Amino acid sequence: MGAHHQGLALRRETLLESLRRFPGDAGMIQRLGQELEASGDWPLMVEALQPQLQHVKAGTPLEAQITYLLAKASLELGDERRSLALIGRSLLGRPDFAFSHHIKGRALARLQRCAEAIAAQQRCVELAPTFCWGWFELGCQLRHQGDLEQAMGSLRRALALQPAENQHHHRLIERALGEVEAELAQRERQEAALSLWPDRALVPQGQRLPSLDEIELQLEQFRLFLHRHEARRSR
């Protein structure tokens, strides 16, 4: 183990021991929570912070912070129902904390409660409009619900907010956006084909038609696009 990792381990152990001696200390809980969240040590976070709940007053900002961290840890450990219960408790103390709504939305999404997950992520990005992962999760859930245009807008917002230097995350969002764009293009193509030739079989994805049919299909797609655009403007 290098000197840097040894230093981190020693600092963590010092914080854990201090918290055992002085349970409920807000400063130590905050520092330890930041340390464990940054390292992704979710089992240790649960082990260290769960006992602290009995030492803090219900409805306080400190209880909200602890339950937020425990909710995030539970979600990362695959316990969505416990995460949802904890984040609900956290939101009672801090209803305008954007990242709690984000955790709530992720837990709801895993439980297949799509409409509620969308509402939670919408609240997240209202409170933190520059948080790219709120937009990303919102886009994914809108896609799951079939609202591809709104999903595309959310994912484009997420991509714009994610620094290109973080290539892994940038590619993840780019891939999701590309899939939505391809799905939307295919849907619009099928809609145009059905409008022109209601008795024909649907055009398989990726298949081009004979030249004249292809031109006619593209013109119909454009006509339907203009129709949708005018319909939105008149609302």
Confidence at residue 19, expressed as pLDDT on a 0 to 100 scale: 81
Q: What are phi and psi of 58, to 5 degrees?
A: -65, 140
Domain spans of the chain, in order of start: 7-95, 121-235
Question: Residue 181 CB: number of other CB atoms within 10 A?
Answer: 15
Q: Would you state the structure tokens that stand for residue 190, as one six-digit string?
A: 């099928």
* Cα torsion through 54, 59, 61, 62, rounded to 10: 0
Q: Which residue has the higher pLDDT, 22 or 183?
A: 183
Decide if pLDDT at 3 tops 50. no
Question: Residue 82 CB: number of other CB atoms within 10 A?
Answer: 17
Confidence at residue 80, expressed as pLDDT on a 0 to 100 scale: 97
Q: Specify the DSSP class assigned to residue 54.
A: G
- Dihedral sign of CA atoms 212, 217, 218, 222 in order: positive
Q: Can you give 26-41 as a three-state secondary structure string? A: HHHHHHHHHHHHHHCC
Decide if pLDDT at 84 tops 60. yes
Confidence at residue 148, expressed as pLDDT on a 0 to 100 scale: 95
49-53, 59-63, 67-71, 164-168 — which is least confidently predicted? 164-168
Q: Specify the DSSP class assigned to residue 204.
A: P
Q: Specify the DSSP class assigned to residue 230.
A: H
Amino acid at 48: A
Site of tokens 């509402």: 119
Q: Can you give 104-148 as a three-state secondary structure string? A: HHHHHHHCCCHHHHHHHHHHHHHHCCCCHHHHHHHHHHHHHHCCH
Buried b (16+ CB within 10 A) or exposed e, 147-165: ebebbbbbbbbbbebbeee
The stretch 127-151 carries a mean pLDDT of 96
User: For domain 7-95, is the CATH number 1.25.40?
Assistant: yes
pTM of the predicted protein model: 0.83
Amino acid at 213: D
